[in-house]
Amino acid sequence: MFKSVYNWIDERLDITPLWRDVADHEVPEHVNPAHHFSAFVYCFGGLTFFITVIQILSGMFLTMYYVPDIINAYASVDYLQHKVAFGQIVRGMHHFGASLVIVMMFLHTLRVFFTGSYKAPREMNWVVGMLIFFIMLGLGFTGYLLPWDNKAYYATKVGVEIAASVPVLGPYIADFLYGGDIVGAQTLTRFFAIHVFFLPGALIAMLAAHFIMIRKQGISGPL
């Protein structure tokens, strides 16, 4: 059944070469943990991507219940976590996955650094990777406010005050993030929009660039 459906589509659109471009490529011996166990360090990039996919999925599902509004945000989070079946698990995935993604990304960065993989001709991919790093930090910062509890409130206050200490531009950055003079209704909607639309959009674009470049240039050689 599956095979005939696949063949039907393949006859018309010739999708097999596309699939080969994505998935059918050699894994060099020095990055294959089956040959050298220490090569597991090459898995951290893939693990980061795997957790990112889980973050995107669980985040999409959370927005089915969440409202970015100062009256209802906390109540809706409380409801989705404690009243909806598997709410604790879905929110848990998003909550703990957020920390895990930073950890995995950091390990991936260390691997790239210590294997010297950032060197020519892969400098651009290092820069894109750094941009992804900052987008992820931005996602963590904006997502932290959304449950609208005390921890969220003060974390945002502290974060924005740190941003406000930037010379000259500081006060403008703070106003932009607050969307007003206080951490309030406008901050919450603003952070929500940044968290679910702007940064994920930028993240997906950057990830695409990251993957196209690694496919084009191949994995760096052994040490």
Partner 1 sequence: MSNHEQHEAAHRPVQRKEMSRRQFLSYTLGGTTAFMMGGAVLPMVRFAVDPLLVKKGEGTYVKVVEESKITNEPQEFKFTIHQIDGWYVSDPELSAWISKDANNTIFALSPVCKHLGCTIGWNVKGLNEYDCPCHDARYTKDGKNITVAPTPLDEYEVKLENGFVYLGPVKPNTRTK
Query: Given the rule CB under 8 A, which residues bind partner 1?
Result: 3, 6-7, 16, 54, 57-58, 61, 64-65, 72, 75-76, 78-80, 83-87, 89-90, 93
Q: Give yes or no for a cis peptide into 121 (omega within 30° of 0).
A: yes
Task: CB nearer to partner 1: give 5 or 168.
Answer: 5
Q: How far is the CB of 43 from partner 1 (least distance, A)?
A: 14
Q: How far is the CB of 75 from partner 1 (least distance, A)?
A: 4
54, burial (CB in 10 Å: exposed 0-12, middle 13-18, buried 19+): middle
Task: CB nearer to partner 1: give 66 or 178.
Answer: 66
Residue 205, CA distances (Å) to 2, 63, 95, 130, 208 in order: 32, 22, 23, 14, 5
Q: How far apart are CA 187 and CA 178, in angstroms?
A: 5
Q: How far is the CB of 3 from partner 1 (least distance, A)?
A: 6
Task: CB nearer to partner 1: give 45 or 129.
Answer: 45
Q: How far is the CB of 60 from partner 1 (least distance, A)?
A: 8
